[in-house]
Amino acid sequence: MRAVSLAIVLLVVRVLGPAAHEMPAGLWSVPAFLWHDAAVVLFFALFEFNCRQHTRLVMAGYAVIAVYAVANIPIERALWSPLTWPMWRAAGGPLADSIRHYASWSNAGLVIIGLTSILAAPFLDRRIPPRPVLAGIAICALLGPAAAARVDTQGRERNAWTALVSSVMPRTVMVTAPRDWRATDQSSPPAEDLAWLRGTAAGRNIVLISLESTAAGYLGLYGSREDVAPNLSRLAQNAVVFDNAYAVYPESIKGLFSILCSRPPAVDMSADRYASVSCPSIAAELGSRGYRTALFHSGRFGYLGMEAVVQGRGYGVLADAGDIGGVHDSSFGIDEPSTIAAILRWIDAGSAERPFFVTYLPIAGHHPYETPSRGPFPDHDEFGRYRNALHYGDAALGDLIHGLQARGLDQRTLWIILGDHGEAFGQHEGNYGHTFHLFDENVRVPFVVAAPGLLAHAIRDRRVVSLLDTAPTVLDLLGVPAPRQYEGSSMLDGRPRRALFFTDYSLMLAGLRDGPRKIISDLRSGRSRWFDVEHDPAEKVDLAARHPEETRRYARLLAEWVAVTRADRRR
């Protein structure tokens, strides 16, 4: 019976893929982790029974289900998640470099073992009585939901097919009336008085830089022993440095929408649909006040639908790797010095009487962390290559700073430098890259406001802020009122605020930072984690069991925020 053969193959896949990672022991763990496999086998058994006269159709179905499951083995080992539909959307084009990075002999060997099991299983199942096996599988499927309520599987009960199907199906959550989601009732330590900065940058040129995959914790400016970004650190000596800034979404493209438009993206809404979402972007607002506007990207606008986010947003010039050209080329883009040279040429071509607003999106820092030359840090592992990539990107920042100084523009320029999201290297179980989780290594980012000649020394501000606040903060510094549609607020406002964030690439997670509290809620399973990041910055001690009522209240708020955001974007 091919259903038994499929059960054998899925068990092999489970051993070679997710089971390679640590799993909690206990009787409930077996059905908790295997019930999705059991459900797929039962579904196929039903299909096989109804199509028992069509042997070729049954064999074709067996082959398709089994081969796709085997193909996901390297994915699950590397990312702790099978391919979901959002991951499939991101798997082509510029991501070829990252995918090729995992085309190793060891992964090829695992796939060969899996394919061999597909061929061998039909011979083995002839010796296995199907009825008791299917009865055991049915029991596992029935016990699965109850077992999953007792064991935190972190989504690893999903197999290649259930992960794909569940990510395509619409995720329904309660929709409530909008409210001020970021308002907090938590007392906070006195914040720096930044109100005096309002309007002080009026008439200045503005440079907005969104650093690729740059988590705050890896920078010397934020306490790292080795400084991968010395130029940023020097610029911050006369700047406001926000210690607790959070991305809204740990991915570049939809995160950029939140920066430019001061509105969060929506759950389950691909970036290519944002062309229909109107907003008074920061570029459009400045353009209407006489600014020349341009966006330069060392990568490619074709990546994950970025065109829909940047086109029609008020930029007079949009230039990516294809427009700029470069000395060093890859699927992700070009070398950063070529982009800096293009920015400086654009500045030189404009009238000195007219201020400019330029947005620079470097690609340095993106996996697989390639750089044209060796960096100062050991590069025997991914973290070393990553730090070298950040250092390479910081050198480009230094070139831009020196370029403006050589033109006598440094005292007339406002710098806004932030990270688009972070990058994880296994600080938490299964957390690699940036899109899958919401720990601080994923979403806490640098945020620096520098105005040479205006600030005599560095100001460290510990209030919680969001990248949603970027556009209103820039306008406030210029003395310009923010549009009513903005959902962020100026960082010069001393009111304490929450920061909210979510990800839907694999699991459906939403989180917030509220004073010292950090909540991460799995909207699919209903589980939440509660961290005191002031005393536990590594987020290792889950305090949810100590604060059950507060945890449930925050989880409800996050579910409502995600639902309202999705409903609002789709109107």
Tokens 């053969």 sit at which residue?
5
**φ, ψ dihedrals at 514, nearest 5°:** -130, 100
Domains of the chain: 2-168 (no CATH), 199-569 (3.40.720.10)
Contact 181, 498 (CB under 8 A): yes
Residue 366 in 3-state DSSP?
A: coil
Task: For the chain, list residues with pLDDT below 50.
Answer: 571
**Distance from C-alpha of 539 to C-alpha of 333, rounded to nearest angstrom:** 35
The vertex-520 CA angle with 568 and 268, nearest 5°, equals 35
Taking 3-state DSSP, the helix, strand and coil percentages for the chain, each rounded to the nearest 5, stand at: 45, 15, 40
Six token digits for residue 282: 């920061």
Whether the upstream peptide bond of residue 368 has omega within 30° of 0, thus cis, is yes
User: Whose CA is closest to 251, among 267, 228, 239?
Assistant: 267
pTM of the entire structure?
0.91
* Count of residues in the chain: 571
**φ, ψ dihedrals at 233, nearest 5°:** -60, -40
* pLDDT value of position 199: 95
* pLDDT value of position 247: 98
**Distance from C-alpha of 263 to C-alpha of 273, rounded to nearest angstrom:** 15
Give Cα 72 to chain centroid, integer Å.
Answer: 21
* pLDDT value of position 28: 86
Six token digits for residue 513: 């930072």
Six token digits for residue 49: 């029974």
**Helix pair angle (105-124, 55-71), 10° resolution:** 150
Contact 86, 304 (CB under 8 A): no
**Distance from C-alpha of 420 to C-alpha of 250, rounded to nearest angstrom:** 7
* pLDDT value of position 18: 66
* SS3 of 98-118: HHHHCCCHHHHHHHHHHHHHH
* pLDDT value of position 189: 64
Tokens 């979901």 sit at which residue?
84
Contact 66, 12 (CB under 8 A): no
- In the chain the first and final C-alpha atoms are separated, in Å, by 49
Six token digits for residue 10: 């899925």
Contact 291, 281 (CB under 8 A): no
* pLDDT value of position 385: 93
For 261, 340, 516, the CA distances from 362, given in Å and listed in that order, are 20, 9, 32
